[in-house]
Structure 1
Amino acid sequence: MAESLITMQEINHRSESIGKTPETDWDSQRDVKVKKKSNFVKDYLIDYTSNSNLHGLKYLGEKQRTSVERVFWFFVFTCCVVLCAGLIRKVWIKWNVSPVIVSFAESSTPVWQIPYPAVTVCLETKAKQSVFNFTEYYHLYNDSGTRENLTTYERNLYEDVTLVCDDHLAPPQGRKFGFGNETVTNIKEVSPNITDAFFGCKWKDIPKETCSDLFSPILTEEGLCYTFNNLGANELFRMENIHKDYQYLEHQNVAESWSLEDGYAPMTPIETYPHRGSGYGAKAGLTFLMKTKQIDLDFLCRGPVQGFKILLHNPAELPRLSQQYFRSPLSQEVVVAVKPKMMTTSEGLRAYDPNRRQCYFPSERYLKYFKIYTQSNCEMECLTNFTYARCGCVHFGMPHGPEMKVCNAGSMACIKKVQMELVVAEVEAGLEKRNEENDTIGEARKIASRCKCLPACTSIEYEAETSQADYDWKAIFRAYKLEIPPEMNDMMYSRVMIFFKEPQFITSRRSELYGQTDFLANCGGLLGLFMGFSILSVVEILYFFTLRLWCVVWNRRRNKKNASDLHQAGDMDVKSDKLKQNYKD
């Protein structure tokens, strides 16, 4: 009995000790767990550094290395990482900011693969003096005593003609707005027609019966001009968005198998439209003889300079002779040797943002009034929208929609002003304080900021090398001992010859400075040079911190569970042995 009582007391004492565990026991157990956890992380990192193929890391995990050695290799490895990251950053900036390089094509391009330049000719004589004496009406209009004697038609006609004269001649007290069809009709009535302007034309050394076979009327900011080899209105404009009051282009020639981006189709014949160059030299070009009567010359509308303005441009562009041209004076022969400049873009750049490659593919930029995107067409449309936002109207030579009013003489000062404003409006649009100054200015600057008229990814320009000499046509009559007809005594002539200078030219090409492969190669070279890094190193890192980590944790849990099971089984055996022993006792 005494022994049994002692045994029961021991059991109760053990149960009380199990039920009332001191706080120190819990703290000691928690410290053990934290220590085990930290040991696990440390051991795992040592395992990674010992087995990694990155240079220098293995010295950090080897147990036989001293602390000094480990600090040294940690410093060296950190320096290599920082230096490598800095160099890669420079490569990234170069790839991100300037990924495009412009180089010359591998082979030259023959001139028959591109269209002959469109040639637009504008006369400096805007109104024939024999039809409408602009100088006389200038004095009558600006004299308050005689202005009242002019009829409404005469005042309106004078104001309409000032739209194509020098800007300062437009009367500020004139009409602010007008009717576009009436203005264009009045300008055409007083302007020299194609018969008055051209004496004869030759294309590829073949004379034409009339110059109307080659040239057709076109409306520009300079008034009525004549153009050769330009696309028709239906191919140049989005007719559904253009007003129907008057036409800019009268001819309807269709581009048979040519586009700006793709050029001529492989099986396109030599004689096609737009005309293509089939050779070089004067015999393979365009020659035309201009004429004018001395009695029709006006030295007030366009100043003391007489003759003709000529512009060579892409057939898919609307010409702007107010911005760029060369002059053909009276009684002069001008010889123009043309050197094409063509820029193409590799397909590898199509995936890049237009601002990075600095050009637009045709499908990337929509123009409201033009079907074909070129930088010149974009700038013309931008000027139209900007002018309308600032002045409430547009010049009749600007393509515009039916809802836009047409400016007249009273708005010419505004048109002249906004052309200069547009140059700086895009910069000023970024200044929010200035945008708040005036609603009209703010809206105009928003329009300017949206222009962003980058070049087309495929563009063609024509550089002109000109030379000239006196053209004394009367000397021919004297040399042949011919009498000059009386009707020709008053005539003044100018001859222009335009042709390709060389049979081939070198095309420029935009291509990738750093493609994705080049970028990876440069980064990989730097990583390999400094750290011995490779794609397998990435796989190794992912392996150590995903699959291997999961496997190690799973194995530890399984081993822990097995040990716990064995421990519980051992405890049960001990308890059963003690119970048997007590029972025997």
Structure 2
Amino acid sequence: MAFKKRRIFDMRLVQSQQLQRKPSEHHKSNSKNSIEKTSKQWRIYHFREIRIWFMDSLRNFCQTTSLHGFSYITRPDISRNERCFWLGVVIAAIISAISLVLTSWYSNRETPTVTVIESSHFPTWNIPFPAVTICNFNRVSKTKALMLMEHMRLPPNVTKGELQELFNLTLFPTGRTVNNSSLEIYDRILRLNNITLTELMNRLSPDCLDMISRCIWKGIKTRCESLFQRIVTIQGICCSFNFFATMTNNFPVKIAYQVPKRPYRVTGCGYTTGLSVLLDPMVADYYGTFFSGFGFRLLIHDAYNFPDENSETKVVTSTRESFVRINPASTYATKDIRQMDLRWRNCLFGSERKLDGLKRYSFINCMFECRMKMTFKRCGCLPAYLINNGTIKICGVLDMNCMLQTKRFFSRALANLDTPYSIVRNTENFPCDCLPDCESNQYGSESTMGRLDASYSRNKMANRQDFSNHTDSILVHVFYSDLMSTRYRMEIFQNWLSSLASFGGLLGLILGFSIVSAFEFVYFLTFRPIFNYINRERD
């Protein structure tokens, strides 16, 4: 039976009565001291009441909670030393649980995303066919150079040998510089003939239709001019198939409507379902090259990436038939990754950042743009082999030495630093603020090569008529090697559900903690005192 407590002494009533009295002037100081003493006693009494209430609530919580070890702290049937022992055990368990939870949390923050293999039987027809960029070893056509040399006017006291050196400058060799006096002579030659360095390079480069004789796409003979377009790369002017990186294309206007809006795809494997081209290295037309041989470089890359040193590179030489087998792999990101903060996922999607002159963002394109900006910052112009949106000045002959010095930017890990390996290895941030791709396609490749002899070939491209005038021809097949590929999934390392399970498992293993235990703690500190106060007032 609950007894109603009688309030014997009310400090607030006493204070109010003392304040209402009118003490005399000689008693004012004593009254003030007594009031301060009374308020101090009231604060001590109030703090003692709170401490008693808190200790009672904590004792009741320890006796009734489901957490491990707490009941031994307040049990009256064990000695004080045992209670102190259990108190130390509980404190150590709490510290261990908090430490493990924090360790798990920081581990999750250090590796917020993870990439796993989702399937090793992902259909290859869901992956776009790669771009195939073909670059001739010979960058200057001998026929075009001799013809242009005959028609160009020369200033007084300038020989054709100096004009020939001007043609060699279109190769943009690295590791050498040109005298300023020679550059001035070359600039006078171009001004006299009203030709820029870019126009000179275009005039001297071999034509795609001269290098590519026959084309077969997915087993059907196709006009090569509708498949390949002429693009400018670091390797010079090349011919590219399935290239969609730039905003515009270089296809003839009359067949522009035939060009697809998206990259090509294939629905099978084997060389009969891919791309087959018959190449003519034009051995007799060689004028300037960096290779001691006759042939082409094949750059295999994503259709939306600019071809550079990151591309899969294959070399095909004259009188050979080459089979390039592509083993594609695709990586995609879940919706949770897209909703994740950029600081934690540490990657970018193709539409999240715009680049100058390029359709989509990728790490390769971003690094290429960064190197372009560094070149422009140093030289005040861009070389002709770089993408230009038409608003930036194109470098001329007088800027040749600066272009030659900045070309090394495109072959280093850190474009802005000529640093040793130790500094590159310890670089924490991605260079040029270029983050990796959240979604990408990789095109690993293998190649086999054999001697090409038309008399033993039944291929509809390799007949004697094709080889009658071109004995150094090259036959190249680029195709998917299998119907299935590997698909990777990028996802969050721990979402809210896995984090809850991880933290709950650690706390439950050490302390026996659960959601009900947390509610018990809140209940004993808030709801139960309120209920007790309400019940006491009713009684």
Shift of 1:129: 1.4
Task: Indicate the SS of the match to 2:144.
Answer: coil
Where does residue 20 of structure 2 map in the other structure? none
Supply the distance in 1 between the matched residues of 2:58 and 2:467 (Cα, whole angstroms): 107
Query: Which residues in structure 2 correspond to 1:32-181 (within 5 Å)?
Result: 35-106=48-119, 108-132=121-145, 148-150=157-159, 155=163, 159=166, 162-168=169-175, 171=178, 173=180, 174=183
Query: SS where residue 92 of structure 1 aligns?
Result: helix
How far 1:348 moved relative to its partner? 2.6
* SS of match in other structure, 1:318: coil
Query: Displacement of 1:63 after TM fit?
Result: 4.2
Instruction: Select the residue among 206, 211, 236 that pairs with 1:192.
Output: 206
Comparing 34-43 and 324-333, the one that deviates more: 34-43
SS in 2 for 1:488: coil
The answer to whether 1:290 aligns with 2:279 is: yes
Check the 8 A contact 1:285/1:500 in 2, yes or no: yes
- Could you tell which deviates more after superposition, 335-344 or 394-403? 394-403
Change (3 A) 1:70 1:474: same
**In the TM superposition, what is the alpha-carbon distance from 1:151 to its structure 2 partner?**
8.3
Q: Counterpart of 2:506? A: 526
Whether the aligned pair in 1 keeps the contact of 2:283 and 2:294 (CA below 8 Å) is: no
Contact 1:379-1:453 within 8 A present in 2 as well = no
Which residue does 1:451 correspond to in 2?
Answer: 433
Percent identity over the alignment is 23
Q: What's the offset of the Cα at 1:158? A: 5.1
Q: 1:415 aligns with which of 399, 406, 410?
A: 406
Matched, 1:536 2:527: no
Q: Deviations over 1:541-564 (max 9, x none)?
A: 2233333344556777x59xx9xx
Alignment partner, residue 373 of structure 1: 361
Distance of aligned partners of 1:169 and 1:472 in 2 relative to their CA distance in 1, 3 Å threshold: farther
Aligned equivalents of 2:156, 2:456: Cα separation in 1 = 46
Letter in 2 for 1:297: Y
Whole-angstrom CA distance in 1 between matches of 2:221 and 2:341: 49
Distance 1:147 1:380 in 2: 42
**1:422 CA displacement:** 5.9
Which whole-Å deviations, capped at 9, do the CAs of 1:373-417 have from their partners, x for residues lacking one? 222222211211122223332222222344433234222332134
Q: What's the CA shift for 1:308?
A: 0.7
User: Would the alpha carbon gap of residues 342 and 282 (structure 1) be closer, same or farther in structure 2, given more than 3 Å must change?
Assistant: same
Among 266, 280, 291, the residue aligned to 2:269: 280
Relative to structure 1, is the Cα distance of residues 110 and 257 closer, same or farther in structure 2, using a 3 angstrom cutoff? farther
- In the TM superposition, residue 472 of structure 1 has moved relative to its aligned partner by 4.4
| C-alpha spacing 1:382/1:204, structure 2 compared with 1 (3 Å) | same
Alignment of 1:334-349 (within 5 A): 334-349=322-337
Structure 1 gaps of 5+ residues are 1-14, 240-246, 259-273, 429-444, 477-481, 563-585
Q: Relative to 1, partners in 2 of residues 1:494 and 1:45: Cα closer, same or farther, differing over 3 Å?
A: same
Partner of 2:300: 312
Partner AA of 1:463 in structure 2:
G
2:325–2:481 Cα contact (<8 Å) kept? yes
- Matched to 1:289, the amino acid is L
Aligned to 1:581: none
Q: Kindly state the Cα deviation for residue 507 of structure 1 after the two structures are TM-superposed.
A: 1.4
Distance change in 2, residues 1:150/1:487 (3 Å) = farther
Q: How far apart in 2 are the matches of 1:170 and 1:28?
A: 93
Deviations 1:523-555 (A, max 9, x none): 101111111111122222223333334455677
Indicate how the Cα distance of structure 1 residues 159 and 418 shifts in structure 2: closer, same or farther if over 3 A, else same: farther
Question: Does residue 526 of structure 2 align to residue 517 of structure 1?
Answer: no
**Aligned with residue 446 of structure 2, among 457, 460, 465:** 465
How many angstroms apart in 1 are the aligned matches of 2:444 and 2:140?
31
Q: Separation in 2 of the partners of 1:319 and 1:425?
A: 20
TM-score, structure 2 length as denominator?
0.76
**1:419-440 deviations in Å (ceiling 9; x for gaps):** 4666164898xxxxxxxxxxxx
Contact 1:340 1:463 in 2 (8 A): yes
CA distance in 1, matches of 2:102, 2:81: 32
The aligned residue for residue 460 of structure 2 is none
What does residue 331 of structure 1 align with?
Answer: 319
1:229 to 242, 267, 275: 242
Shift in Å, 1:330:
1.7
Change (3 A) 1:133 1:554: farther
TM-fit CA distance, 1:71: 0.8
**Structure 2 residue aligned with 1:202:** 216
Q: CA deviation at 1:418?
A: 3.2
In structure 2, what residue type is equivalent to 1:331?
Answer: T
SS of the residue corresponding to residue 359 of structure 2 reads coil
The corresponding residue for 2:290 is 302
Paired letter, 2:433: C
Check conservation: 2:281, 2:296, Cα contact below 8 A.
no
Q: Deviations over 1:492-551 (max 9, x none)?
A: 211111111112212122233322211110110111111111112222222333333445
Q: Deviations over 1:108-139 (max 9, x none)?
A: 222222222211111111111122159x99xx
34-43 vs 105-114, greater mean Cα deviation:
34-43
**Partner Cα distance (2:417, 2:447) in 1:** 35
8 A contact 2:310–2:364 mirrored in 1? no
* Kept after mapping to 2: 8 A contact 1:164/1:221: no
| Counterpart for residue 4 of structure 2 | none
Q: Distance in 1 between matches of 2:167 and 2:531?
A: 89
Determine the C-alpha separation between the residues in 2 that align with 1:67 and 1:43.
18
Cα drift, residue 42 of structure 1: 2.4
Amino acid in the other structure paired with 1:346: T
3-state secondary structure, aligned to 1:492: coil
Aligned mates of 2:140, 2:44 — CA distance in 1: 104
C-alpha distance 420-256 of structure 1, shift in aligned 2 (>3 A): closer
Relative to 1, partners in 2 of residues 1:324 and 1:416: Cα closer, same or farther, differing over 3 Å? Answer: farther
Letter in 2 for 1:497: H
The residue that corresponds to 1:494 in the other structure is: 474
Q: Deviations over 1:282-339 (max 9, x none)?
A: 21121111113333113x5424233111111222222226865211112222111111
